[in-house]
Amino acid sequence: MEIEIRPARTDDAKAIAEIHAASWRSTYRGTFSDSYLDGDIIKERLHYWTAQLNSEVQRERGILMAVEDDVCVGFICVCLEGEQNWGPLLDNLHVRSESKGQGIGRRLIEEGRAWVKARGAFERWHLWVVEANESARNFYEHLGWVSSGGTVHYSPDGTPYPVIRYTKMIY
């Protein structure tokens, strides 16, 4: 089966929201509050992604989907308006749990990188990984991303959690 990577459209918000919510529920139990994860986060994520895909800011965001047999199996969101000292932000990368290990995340990152390169002479880009997410940290480190310090972020319900910034040269 062939995986197609394509730009997300407004009508893709529901598929993206479902993957995002499922990823958070399976990965961030014990990091985000149970009440948030057990709540209607699909609705909350649908509202978020619908706004992102309909926004004027969307021109500054590359939201790409991996599609297999007309089903979204993963997505990436890259923001050009990252942080000036760190370059564009790889803001989201999520792949359906049953599709992991097939190179989809790697392909999405490469397509996200190409999207950024086509929009400017950026030297590097960065991302944040939840400190407790060993799997994601190992994945990014395997791809050559380098840890560059940490801080605390807050989930949509206000739960604080430590994160690590990773950077990588973009060219």
Q: Is the confidence at residue 55, as pLDDT, over 70?
A: yes
d(CA 161, CA 157): 12
Q: What is the pLDDT of residue 57?
A: 63
Specify the higher pLDDT residue, 29 or 81.
29
pTM of the model: 0.93
Q: What is the pLDDT of residue 46?
A: 97
d(CA 92, CA 118): 19
Q: What is the pLDDT of residue 89?
A: 96
Q: pLDDT of 65-83, one tens digit each?
A: 999 999 999 999 999 986 7
φ, ψ of residue 105 to 5 degrees: the values are -60, -45
- What is the mean pLDDT of the segment spanning 76-94? 92
Nearest C-alpha neighbor of 111 from the set 74, 56, 146, 57: 74
The CATH number of the domain covering residues in 3-121: 3.40.630.30
Q: pLDDT of 97-144, one tens digit each?
A: 999 999 999 999 999 999 999 998 899 999 999 999 999 999 999 999
High-pLDDT (> 70) share of the chain, %: 96
Q: What is the pLDDT of residue 58?
A: 63
Q: What is the pLDDT of residue 12?
A: 97
- What is the mean pLDDT of the segment spanning 11-38? 95
